[in-house]
């Protein structure tokens, strides 16, 4: 517990928002002391579940995803990788470090890609209630077409957290690609909303992730019955949820980046990066 004391009149960052108006911290490199956070987390002996979906050709992303997670994700802590897949035999047999475990979970395959993407909410809510609640304390729910490229640790954990989408961090509200049709359950009026959150990185305690995914799942089904599908599927519903259930922590775009967006000055770390995909090869629609 030896470190330089916090300086009330020398905030570590002044170029970016580090606290929302509802007092949720925004996590950037330089805002936290990992030694303190790790110490606190260790004392609680908690377990983190990382959920990822690899359906059909997306199993090809698992090798790099898991290898890099072993290097950068929650190092030194207990981790369960929950891999939802229609092809458990295609899950790479990688050796994981002590305290970490690979758990393949067989799921159905859906013919439409929009359905594959949206059904993640249903699967996560179902397994949260049936299984995750008994096995882990926190859930981190991410896309698989990604690789870890820098530290992602306990600084992200909180009751419920979302990540600022790398394509919209500087956008005005009106430019957010929220669902704008009032007959969708994901509808957000022009004068509401804080950030545009990425569908590919959210999480929290199992209880909170259960509520979030359940609510999104119900909204998706209600839309389906009305014959409407939100513009960005489950990402639209996640954004709607966060307007009215504010995240208790916000991850900066350091936590979901895409090198097509360059390397702006404010971005000190690229922790979780989109893997370029050959759309025609992996997305046999
Ligand atoms: C297939 C065709 C088009 C879009 C998505 C898929 C697809 C997605 C798939 O065939 N299998 C699959 O497991 N997924 C899961 O949904 C992956 O976990 C993937 O990361 C997630 C979201 O789809 P992405 O990553 O293609 O969406 P973007 O918005 O990151 O391009
Ligand atoms: Mn993706």
* Residues that are catalytic: 235
Ligand 1 atom closest to Cα of residue 117? 16
112 lines ligand 1 (CB under 6 A): no
Per-residue pLDDT of the chain (285 residues; tens, 9 = 90+): 899 999 999 999 999 999 999 999 999 999 999 999 999 999 999 999 999 999 999 999 999 999 999 999 999 999 999 999 999 999 999 999 999 999 999 999 999 999 999 999 999 999 999 999 999 999 999 999 999 999 999 999 999 999 999 999 999 999 999 999 999 999 999 999 999 999 999 999 999 999 999 999 999 999 999 999 999 999 999 999 999 999 999 999 999 999 999 999 999 999 999 999 988 778 754
pTM above 0.85, yes or no: yes
**Tokens at residue 172, please?**
């005005």
Beta carbons of 212 and 238 less than 8 angstroms apart:
yes
113 lines ligand 1 (CB under 6 A): yes
Q: How many CB atoms lie within 10 A of CB 112?
A: 11
- Report long-range pairs for 102-110 (Cβ below 8 Å, ≥24 apart): 102/66, 107/53, 107/55, 109/55, 109/56, 110/55
* CA pair distance 38, 31, nearest whole angstrom: 15
117 lines ligand 1 (CB under 6 A): yes
Distance, C-alpha 195 to centroid of its chain? 15
H or E element, residue 184 = none
* CA pair distance 112, 269, nearest whole angstrom: 35
């Amino acid at each position: 517990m030896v470190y330089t004391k916090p300086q009330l009149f020398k905030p570590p960052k002044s170029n970016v928002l580090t606290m929302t108006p509802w007092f949720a911290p925004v996590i950037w490199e330089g805002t936290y002391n990992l030694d303190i956070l790790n110490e606190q987390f260790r004392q609680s002996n908690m377990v983190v579940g990382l959920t990822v979906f690899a359906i059909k050709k997306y199993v090809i992303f698992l090798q790099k995803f898991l290898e890099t997670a072993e290097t950068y994700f929650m190092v030194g802590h207990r981790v369960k990788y929950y891999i939802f897949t229609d092809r458990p035999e295609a899950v790479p047999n990688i050796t994981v470090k002590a305290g970490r475990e690979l758990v393949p979970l067989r799921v159905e395959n859906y013919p439409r890609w929009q359905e594959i993407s949206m059904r993640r909410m249903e699967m996560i809510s179902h397994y949260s209630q049936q299984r995750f609640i008994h096995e882990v304390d926190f859930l981190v729910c991410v896309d698989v077409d990604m690789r870890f490229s820098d530290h992602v640790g306990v600084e992200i954990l909180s009751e419920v957290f979302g990540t600022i989408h790398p394509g919209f961090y500087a956008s005005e509200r009106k430019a957010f690609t929220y669902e704008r049709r009032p007959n969708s359950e994901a509808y957000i009026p022009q004068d509401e909303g804080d950030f545009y959150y990425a569908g590919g990185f959210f999480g929290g305690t199992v209880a909170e992730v259960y509520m979030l995914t359940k609510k999104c799942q119900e909204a998706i089904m209600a839309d389906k019955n009305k014959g409407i599908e939100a513009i960005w599927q489950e990402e639209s519903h996640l954004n709607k949820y966060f307007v009215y259930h504010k995240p208790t922590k916000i991850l900066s775009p350091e936590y979901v980046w895409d090198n097509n967006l360059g390397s702006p000055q404010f971005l000190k770390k690229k922790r979780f990066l989109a893997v370029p995909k050959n759309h025609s090869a992996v997305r046999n629609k």
